[in-house]
Amino acid sequence: MPTFDQITDVLSRQAIELPSWAFGNSGTRFKVFGTPGTPRTVQEKIADAATVHRFTGLAPTVALHIPWDAVDDYAALRRHAEDQGVSLGTINSNTFQDDIYKFGSLTHRDDAVRKQAIDHHLACIDVMDATGSRDLKIWLADGTNYPGQGDLRGRQDRLAESLAVIYDRLGPEQRLVLEYKFFEPAFYHTDVPDWGTSYAQVSALGDRAMVCLDTGHHAPGTNIEFIVMQLLRLGKLGSFDFNSRFYADDDLIVGAADPFQLFRILVEVVRGGGMEPGSPVAFMLDQCHNVEAKIPGQIRSVLNVQEATAKALLVDTAALARAQEDGDVLAANGILMDAFWTDVRADLAAWRETRGLPADPMAAYAASGYQQQIESERVGGQQAGWGA
Amino acid sequence: MPTFDQITDVLSRQAIELPSWAFGNSGTRFKVFGTPGTPRTVQEKIADAATVHRFTGLAPTVALHIPWDAVDDYAALRRHAEDQGVSLGTINSNTFQDDIYKFGSLTHRDDAVRKQAIDHHLACIDVMDATGSRDLKIWLADGTNYPGQGDLRGRQDRLAESLAVIYDRLGPEQRLVLEYKFFEPAFYHTDVPDWGTSYAQVSALGDRAMVCLDTGHHAPGTNIEFIVMQLLRLGKLGSFDFNSRFYADDDLIVGAADPFQLFRILVEVVRGGGMEPGSPVAFMLDQCHNVEAKIPGQIRSVLNVQEATAKALLVDTAALARAQEDGDVLAANGILMDAFWTDVRADLAAWRETRGLPADPMAAYAASGYQQQIESERVGGQQAGWGA
Amino acid sequence: MPTFDQITDVLSRQAIELPSWAFGNSGTRFKVFGTPGTPRTVQEKIADAATVHRFTGLAPTVALHIPWDAVDDYAALRRHAEDQGVSLGTINSNTFQDDIYKFGSLTHRDDAVRKQAIDHHLACIDVMDATGSRDLKIWLADGTNYPGQGDLRGRQDRLAESLAVIYDRLGPEQRLVLEYKFFEPAFYHTDVPDWGTSYAQVSALGDRAMVCLDTGHHAPGTNIEFIVMQLLRLGKLGSFDFNSRFYADDDLIVGAADPFQLFRILVEVVRGGGMEPGSPVAFMLDQCHNVEAKIPGQIRSVLNVQEATAKALLVDTAALARAQEDGDVLAANGILMDAFWTDVRADLAAWRETRGLPADPMAAYAASGYQQQIESERVGGQQAGWGA
Amino acid sequence: MPTFDQITDVLSRQAIELPSWAFGNSGTRFKVFGTPGTPRTVQEKIADAATVHRFTGLAPTVALHIPWDAVDDYAALRRHAEDQGVSLGTINSNTFQDDIYKFGSLTHRDDAVRKQAIDHHLACIDVMDATGSRDLKIWLADGTNYPGQGDLRGRQDRLAESLAVIYDRLGPEQRLVLEYKFFEPAFYHTDVPDWGTSYAQVSALGDRAMVCLDTGHHAPGTNIEFIVMQLLRLGKLGSFDFNSRFYADDDLIVGAADPFQLFRILVEVVRGGGMEPGSPVAFMLDQCHNVEAKIPGQIRSVLNVQEATAKALLVDTAALARAQEDGDVLAANGILMDAFWTDVRADLAAWRETRGLPADPMAAYAASGYQQQIESERVGGQQAGWGA
């Protein structure tokens, strides 16, 4: 097994983008609970995200969601972020909250609706130009609730056409990542339900179109690390949306539901070159903190990814290859589990301190007074949520 | 196979309760779409429900949801319903939308929260006294999102204590039905996740406590008709919440996702005596019409149940028993399928006309002008939804 | 809705290949039950398959499984089949029953094992040359049971190399179809687990490599008709393995578990041109008759496909397109359901008679004495099963 | 968090029964692989089980399966076991491999079949009398593959009658544990599919009838620790069959697929008193070693349970209760995770040595020469498997 010192180089490269919306309120169709201190503005969201980075050193960028985070002056927003010590990252489009999109957006059979959805994405690319963002992430709520409601084939063809228009508008350093999702909010069919569909669509576009893998968007039992392996192999894994789930798209804290799965995913990321310098893989959180505190929830999340990455890097790959070659199933599995069961927390804590970071970011945040400060300062106004 | 004439006696007894909230707006955490004509008040919801009954003869009662449908004068509401030709039915409690219930209601570890939740149910029984309702239906959102968040065992014990207080308040003709649900809105554990838990809890209460089976609240692959059989056998099937699903608790129109499953469920209902006079089984819809028209959606739903019931009644049970006795798998399955594949729609249409009902309720409703009327009249105000 | 007469042209083109192994014994890891009359030889299997065709007119070809159906003289076997009125169809390879394949075949890290597996496929192509078969179907049991046991990425790369060698050996009129499967017999990872992997692999090979979709090989809840649509759209749907399932790869009679799903699949087949003359889509059964009679089980199966196809052809596509265009969800769904609920059995029976076939193939077979004959004649010897 | 010293008392009480059949060959319907050294007799199976105990101190008893392990002289077998340092444990019945049980055993509609199945269980109790076993474990393969094939209700009633006869025969110190299973080998319905059914059936029998929970026998996504909590609360958790699964009843090594789930299960066992002296809960493995070595596979398994138990015992329950009371979701979850992430392997190794056991049982077994010895000695004869 490598020593901890041998893996810190890679660990020091790790960067996990935070979603601005994780700091706003979220919930279920039954209830969205508010909490004291919740941001009212994108600037406050960025301040919270920067706080996570300050305590962890892991989260140097913030993803924006348009229109939730739309502002008049993106250059100013960019400076605001940089003043806080972070950068603006992926731009996420939204074609699921206007009444016009009730029956689809980029797949809609009405040319006018489709044009509006395309134009929204072109406007998002304008934002990217202003923020310096590399990635446009497209997650579509498009789908149907009843068999017969839509023409699956026609919708797929129109999706291809719409994406081509958007892709053509990208700058040479910009990328499009297409997310897939098994179901929800559509309950019969989803227009991009699986990695195969996303892969087929982005392959038709070109080299700068890639797949976004959200760890909560699969059928029960799906072997997600296999998909990670396959997309890396095919050169089409553009980004991760990390979260975890017991049931559907629960959007729980990454690693909370099945920490062994997160470890296996990171083992395949490492195996496939996803942690190497210049790797095209972007790492991002996409979670909901429905009942837990938001800022510590994000801190916990990036730490979970860091711990799982450390364990993945500790796998004794030479010994593993030998056991695999020998057909020694128990030995091979045991080598993997040795890394998983190794408690990396003390080593990580000590290493953090060498980098000027708190050994225990959760405790340090709790002791910092930041939470009390925002709870007392952020009074009045409209707490941010998915609607605004 | 029985003739259609031989099954009309049973069909004429069929009654399917409508949920008042099906006429309000509903949606997902991503978006709730509004539609013209949506009721603003419980009175308007009841008018819509009565319309469904007028066109189908299948829906003589309306379930209320407290506090969504709370009024000052329930006697007046009862008369309003009777004037429209329907009665008030099951009272549904709600302990999932107040901030105080964020970490539970009847299971909460804080005595004060638990008392408030119990008191809400006692108030619901007061409503039942005023409306003449028989059933108090309890569906709990109680649960946790993360392992460790709650003490599963303590919560279960407190649930038992809370239910006992509520049960004791019931009048001699009133019942408590306890619904179970696999997951959502809680994403790690649900306090009443399966029929076994509901059965154990209601068995501890007494004869007038029974299980409510919502057809969308099971793990993937669950054989629901088996549970129907078992609960009927144990004398504890109190009521159905009908809807359908492809994935999670999609709340689609009953029979839309898997009409063969609905047929099998009704076969077991018939087999277990659930359609006999005096049966304790109450039939109710619990659906969301997120993207389809609401009143026709409810008409379609009760017709789906009626058609499936007719098919279930057409099973040649004598021949089926013989084939089962012979171990002739294909013959037995074939006898069941013969009933399923029989197109009962023309017979039902003709029979409806003999009862003074439209042959085609969907077409009759469309031609009636009711939809246009409510769309023009119901302008202004706040459309009803889950929040009000 | 089209009239029945308008769809008979397409119906008369329908051909469903039967698997020779459906006539042998099959079961679970717990028990394989034998039955009187079970074939002992491939010749007897073909005789049974030809019997299914004689009673239904739907099953003109028989798929072989090598080595289960290996013979010395394939030309003689071909004549035997033709004498019975059927042809030899798809050749299925088998790399899952030799001890050498315990840890993989085409993916194995040992060159010698991989070569043996490749050679087996080349030998299968030799058989195809002799039998005149068009398709080589590859289903791999390759996979692992424990994380770490194998190198997912290396296995995928080796799979690509192995398939390329096999593909190169195909004649200009021959095809390779690669089946995918979610799990079993491997319980951690499967080397071709989903359509995306099969699609990526066959796309790398060339035009005559296509995907085989087995309807039982998906994760719970997967929308299979979407995959049918997508593969037809991408020009890569080579063949179906029909069967049905409630849980895992149950291999029940096609249409038995979810007849509405089968209908939806065939709607997409029709929509995507899969029933048109010259379509590349081959239709085949792949089932197990563990507890039911085998020959009637196959008759029932092809009739189920025929009935579902008839219903799919009856969809009023013009009205459906209008309702979709109008965003009328209930109308669109209703148009689809109208076709599904139409009882096509009497029309099909009458049409069969016009073609010199029995109106009721199940009854005709039962009355034919064939079953009694084989039960009395096929005494002694070793009943065919998966092992031989 | 407790110190390791504080939990060794409980750990020293831990006993995990081994299934004799784990040492024989097993596989899937596709293939059963043999391995050198596999036992040919029950005596050899017991020798292997005793070896596992010798290296781990965790497995003092061996479960037998009748008729696979049937012998003429059980007293002699008992002495053989004791000579090896282990005792005979649970007796497992088998009504799934005789042709007569094709359509059921204790549920069969034919009185003669049912009587044979009952008699088999009575004979198993005779064995228990001779072996001194406490528990009769009943797992039934009973079920159907097609809707209509059987009468679900009648089968359930007959099951109750059959179990009552068996229960009446038990001695005052003997128990009946009824296992449930979601599916397989039946693919439409299983007669004891869920804990609710097992609970209802054993509750009707009496105090010495309890539920057996096999960790692989649930629907996807089922929260198993909730069921553990509930059955402990109801006083009806009789025993565990430990194994793990990614998909269906994969029967992998316990803890291999989801070690966090195993930990959560053991947390509830501890919480519910299942580790206390006199607890009625029996712990047993029920696994298949299809591709991995069998004796080390069993050693790995009991070590996995031991490690998970140690972690469960390390939970700081006082701090957890406080965090739960405070509604501090992240703190409560964090306290649980602290125990999970603690690497207990070194402490366990040191503690083992104080008890005269090898620090590393896997390495000690590998170095012991036992495997080489049985491979050279066990030549000829018929390797044990599920059939014999």
Q: Which stretches within chain A are classed as H helix?
A: 4-13, 42-56, 74-84, 111-131, 152-169, 195-205, 224-233, 259-271, 294-313, 317-326, 329-341, 345-354, 361-368, 370-377
Question: How many angstroms separate the CA of residue A178 from the nearest CA in chain C?
Answer: 15
**pLDDT 10s digits, C217-245:** 999 999 999 999 999 999 999 999 999 99
Identity of the residue in C221, C258, C341 whose CB atom sits nearest the CB atom of B220: C221
Q: C116 pLDDT exceeds 60?
A: yes
Cα–Cα distance, B317 to C138 (Å, whole number): 44
- How many other CB atoms are there within 10 angstroms of residue B286's CB atom? 27
Verify whether the Cβ–Cβ distance D256 to A362 is below 8 Å. Answer: no
Residues A62, A368 contacting (CB under 8 angstroms): no
Per-residue pLDDT tens over the stretch A318-358: 999 999 999 999 999 999 999 999 999 999 999 999 999 99
Chain mean pLDDT for chain C = 97
C-alpha pair distances (Å), C87 with each of C176, C356, D175, D209, D258: 19, 20, 59, 58, 49
Helix (H, G, I), strand (E, B) or coil at D101: helix
For residue C65, what pLDDT is reported?
97
Closest CA to B202 of B166, B255, B172: B166
Check if A367 contacts C (Cβ < 8 Å): no
Q: What is the CA radius of gyration of chain C?
A: 21
Of C102, C147, C257, the CB nearest to D291: C102
Peptide bond into A277 cis (omega under 30): no
**Assessment of whether the complete model's pTM goes beyond 0.90:** yes
Per-residue pLDDT at A36: 95
Query: In angstroms, what separates the C-alpha of A212 from chain C's closest C-alpha?
Result: 15
Residue B362 has pLDDT above 60, yes or no: yes
Please say whether the beta carbons of B152 and B197 come within 8 A.
no
Q: Does C220 touch chain A (CB under 8 A)?
A: yes
Q: Show residues of chain A in contact with B383, CB under 8 Å.
A: none
Report which of D218, C305, A185 is spatially closest to residue B246, judged by C-alpha positions: A185
**Which among B97, B149, B248 has CB closest to A248?**
B248
The pLDDT score that the predictor gives to residue C139 is 98
Contacts of B319 in chain C (CB under 8 A): none
Q: Is C291 on the interface with B (CB under 8 A)?
A: yes
**Closest-CA residue of chain A to C101:** A327
B340 touches chain A (CB under 8 A): no
D153 touches chain B (CB under 8 A): yes
Best to test chain C binding among D184, D187, D188, D189 (most C CBs inside 10 Å): D187
Task: Average the pLDDT over A128-144 and give the result.
Answer: 98
Tens of pLDDT along B158-200?
A: 999 999 999 999 999 999 999 999 999 999 999 999 999 999 9
Q: How far is A345 from chain C (nearest CA, A)?
A: 23
Using a CB–CB cutoff of 8 Å, tell me whether A333 touches chain D. yes
pLDDT, tens digit, 9 for 90 and up, residues D364-381: 999 999 999 999 999 999
Mean pLDDT value of segment B205-213: 98
In chain A, pLDDT over 70 holds for what percent of residues? 100
Residue A246 tokens, joined: 């017991």
pLDDT band at B387 (very low <50, low <70, confident <90, very high): confident
pLDDT tens, residue by residue, A78-98: 999 999 999 999 999 999 999
> Residue D258 above 90 pLDDT?
yes
What pLDDT is recorded for position D387? 75
Which residues of C are less than 8 Å from D185 in CB distance?
27-31, 290
The minimal CB distance from A343 to the residues D291, D330, D343 is found for D343
Spatial distance between the Cα atoms of A48 and A295, rounded to a whole number of angstroms: 7
pLDDT grade, residue A248 (50/70/90)?
very high
Task: Calculate the CA A388 to chain-centre distance.
Answer: 20
Q: Does C182 touch chain B (CB under 8 A)?
A: no
A-C interface: how many C-beta pairs under 8 angstroms? 146
Percent of chain B whose pLDDT exceeds 90: 99
Q: Which residues on adjacent β-strands are paired with residue C137?
A: C92, C177
Average pLDDT of chain A, as a whole number: 97
Q: For residue D388, what pLDDT is reported?
A: 53
Q: Are A254 and A243 in contact (CB under 8 A)?
A: yes
| CB-CB under 8 Å, C149 with A333 | yes
Reply yes or no on whether the pLDDT at C106 is more than 60.
yes
Question: How far apart are alpha carbons B372 and D268 in whole angstroms?
Answer: 58
Q: Nearest 10 degrees: CA dihedral of B33, B34, B39, B45? A: -20
Instruction: Give yes or no for residue A388 having a pLDDT over 80.
Output: no
Cβ contacts of C103 on chain D, cutoff 8 Å: 291
Hey, what domains does chain C have and what are their CATH numbers?
Answer: 4-377 (3.20.20.150)
Q: What is the per-residue pLDDT across D348-364, written as a single tens digit (0 to 9) for each?
A: 999 999 999 999 999 99
Please give the mean pLDDT across all residues of chain D. Answer: 97
Could you tell me if A196 lies within 8 Å of chain C, comparing CB atoms? yes
Q: Which of C96, C102, C291 sits opposite D145 (nearest CB)?
A: C291
Average pLDDT over residues D333-340: 98
- Chains with 3+ CB–CB pairs under 8 A to C are A, B, D
Please give the Cα distance from B315 to B328 (Å, whole number): 16
Q: Is the pLDDT of residue B388 over 60?
A: no
Contact with chain B for residue D96, Cβ under 8 A: no
pLDDT average, residue stretch D257-265: 98
Model confidence over C126-146: pLDDT tens digits? 999 999 999 999 999 999 999
Query: pLDDT for D155-208, tens place per residue?
Result: 999 999 999 999 999 999 999 999 999 999 999 999 999 999 999 999 999 999
Question: Would the CB atoms of D334 and A362 count as touching at under 8 Å?
Answer: yes
Q: Which pLDDT does position C387 carry in this prediction?
A: 75
Q: Measured between beta carbons, which residues in chain B are less than 8 angstroms from residue D194?
A: 194-196
Tell me the C-alpha distance between D123 and D117, whole Å.
10
What ipTM was reported for this prediction? 0.98
- Per-residue pLDDT, averaged over B18-45, amounts to 97
- Measured between CB atoms, does B246 come within 8 Å of chain C? yes
Q: What is the band of B337 on the pLDDT scale with cuts at 50, 70, 90?
A: very high
- Tell me the nearest-neighbour CA distance from A281 into chain C, angstroms: 17
- Chain D residues closer than 8 Å to C99 by CB: 33-34
State the smallest CA–CA distance between residue C257 and chain B in angstroms.
8
